[in-house]
Structures are given as structure tokens and as C-alpha cells.
Amino acid sequence: MRTSVLALWTCARKVRPHELRRWRGWLSVSLGVWWCALALSPVGAQVPSGAVPSVSSRSQGFILNGSSTNDFSGKSVSGAGDVNGDGLDDVIVGADSASPDGLNIAGRSYVVFGKRNNRPVELADIESGTSPRGFVINGSTANDNSGRSVSGAGDVNGDGLDDVIVGASGADPAGRYDAGRSYVVFGKRNTQPVELADIESGTSPHGFVINGSTANDNSGESVSGAGDVNGDGLDDVIVGAVNAFDGVTDSLRSGLQEHHSPLTLAISLPPFLTHVHQLLYQ
Ligand SMILES: [Ca+2]
Ligand SMILES: [Ca+2]
Ligand SMILES: [Ca+2]
Ligand SMILES: [Ca+2]
């Protein structure tokens, strides 16, 4: 209120009707009116001259701050659907160079729950499992690069909560170098961290793993939800293996990479893997 009164008083000083007798007076009045309009506008009244508006003053969104140096959080991002079932859609953020538990570049992903306020979210708080804002998905093994790709997956297991998929294109399943892995992580309401190592073992109730086929395939370089591909009522997912090839030469493989992934998998799972459709590049 005090700011508005000050702005009105300043405007009155700048606009001088007696100057209208000369053309320079008209120019002065025009500039004065423009200055007043800027000063009394919502943005002009709140932001000091020369200052850059903060994110929170420009929009109703919020920022997600990365946890540690060289994590590269935000290298991949996606909508995630309503993972915790609170009626608000959530997001997933990949940090494929993070090193959980000292595992160099095993990678992390973060599911951040939707919210209505614009307060910043610290991903470091989510890692601890104590923040109510979401949960972390920790990579399994050094150099896996989990979180290289992330996506919402729809409701893959049919429990009413949306699920997510995380790609780890540097993983070495059964010693197959860089064959890659992808993980479907089921939606849940709590904020306890998810360990991808537990999901790999097949004993975790929190999801399932999709192991790459052949060394150097880099499956999981891209992942996405696919909707209900086979019409069984369960949402399916798709995984790209950007460096896979079917007996073709290296030069042809390079050509294929420029267009699209030569090997993809479409999968339906209730609650364990029941259908796998392998679509080889033609
Ligand atoms: Ca939600
Ligand atoms: Ca689900
Ligand atoms: Ca590897
Ligand atoms: Ca399906």
C-alpha cells in the first residue's frame, strides 16, 4: 500500500500538464504516463528497477534443486502420472551421473509428488527418505547410468497407482557389457527409497527389471510408457536399445541409429512378466 502511494506521488511529479504548450512537453508527458503504467503494474510494482524477477514471482511453478556436484539431475525428465494416488500428477527426474552409496555413476532418479505451492524442492531431502515430497530410486551398480532415461509408465500392474520406468543403458546384466537394463517401479504412497538392486533380484515388491539382450545394445537409452498395447487392461512400456543390430555391419548399424532404434520391446506385466513382444527392425 505504501509502495502504491509513493508511486502515485512520483507519477504526479513526472506528469506536468503545463508543459503541453511545447512538443518537448508532449514527449515528456508521454514518457511520464509510460513510466507510471510500468510502476503501477503488478510486475513493476513488485520488482525493483534492474532486478530479475524470481521464478516464483513469474509463475506458480516450483524449482527442483539437484543434490550433489556432477549429478546432472534433470538430464532426463518426464511426467509420471499420479504415482502416490493423492489426485495430483507427479514428475520424475533422472540424474544418471549420481553415485548412490559410493557407487560411481550408478545413477539416481527422483519421483517428486505434485503439489500446489511454489516452494523449491531439494532433491537431497528426498534422498534421505524423510521428505514428504517424493522418493528416490537408487541405481544398482557403478557405471550403470540409471536415470539416463525416465518416463511415466501408466498403471502397469493394475493396482490403481501410476508406475514409472527408469533406463540404465550402461548396466551389464549377467556380464553382458553395456547390454543395459530398464526397471519398472510401481507407484506407492510412502517416501521410502527404492533400491534397483532389490528389484534386480526379483524379490522386491516394488517393480521388475527388463534385462538387455546382448552386449553393447545399450537397452534403456530410451524408455516410455506405451499405453495398453495388447488390450488386456494393463498399461505397457517400450524400451529402446539404440546400439542393437541384427547381424548387420557396423556401417549399417550407424545408419540405423540416425533414424530410430532398431530393436524395441513392448511388454505387458500382471504382476510378473507374461507377454513379451520382440519387434525386430525390418
Ligand atoms: Ca500424486
Ligand atoms: Ca501401478
Ligand atoms: Ca557397463
Ligand atoms: Ca497391456
For the chain of 282 residues, list the mean pLDDT of each consecutive stretch of 10.
43 50 54 46 42 54 96 98 98 98 98 96 93 97 98 98 98 98 98 97 95 97 97 98 71 38 46 35 30
DSSP H helical ranges for 15-161: 23-40, 42-46, 55-58, 123-127
The pLDDT assigned to 24 comes to 57
Domain span holding position 25: 2-52
The pLDDT assigned to 180 comes to 98
Rounded Cα–Cα distance for residues 252 and 27 (Å):
68
Ligand nearest to the CA of 237: 4
Q: 214 in a domain, yes or no?
A: yes
The number of folded domains in the chain is 2
Ligand nearest to the CA of 83: 1
Distance from the alpha carbon of residue 153 to the mean position of ligand 1, in angstroms: 14
Same domain, 21 and 146: no
The pLDDT assigned to 54 comes to 54
Q: How many CA atoms lie within 13 A of 34 on its CB side?
A: 6
The pLDDT assigned to 47 comes to 40
Q: Give pTM, 2 decimals.
A: 0.72
The pLDDT assigned to 34 comes to 52
Same domain, 43 and 112: no
Q: Which of 280, 138, 129 is nearest to 192 (CA)?
A: 129
Name residues with Cβ closer than 5 Å to ligand 1, which is an ion. 82, 84, 86, 88, 90, 113-114
Distance from the alpha carbon of residue 87 to the mean position of ligand 1, in angstroms: 6
Q: Which of 56, 88, 93, 53 is nearest to 73 (CA)?
A: 93
C-alpha distance from residue 30 to each of 14, 20, 47 (Å): 10, 10, 22
Burial 194-208 (b: 16+ CB within 10 A, else e): bbbbebbeeebebbb
Q: 57 in a domain, yes or no?
A: no
DSSP H helical ranges for the chain: 2-14, 23-40, 42-46, 55-58, 123-127, 196-201, 250-259
Domain finish residue from 25, 52, 79: 52
Q: How many CA atoms lie within 13 A of 168 on its CB side?
A: 31
Rounded Cα–Cα distance for residues 23 and 157 (Å):
75
Distance from the alpha carbon of residue 264 to the mean position of ligand 1, in angstroms: 29
Ligand nearest to the CA of 266: 4
User: Where residue 155 sits, what CATH number does that domain have?
Assistant: 2.130.10.130
Q: Strands 134-138 and 108-112: what pairing?
A: antiparallel
Same domain, 220 and 82: yes
Q: What share of the chain is helix, strand, coil (3-state, %, to 5)?
A: 25, 30, 45
Same domain, 247 and 195: yes
Same domain, 113 and 15: no
Report whether 118 contacts 60 (CB < 8 A): yes
Q: Which of 195, 157, 163, 114 is nearest to 274 (CA)?
A: 157
Residue 263 grid coordinates: 530393436
Ligand nearest to the CA of 205: 2
Same domain, 14 and 116: no
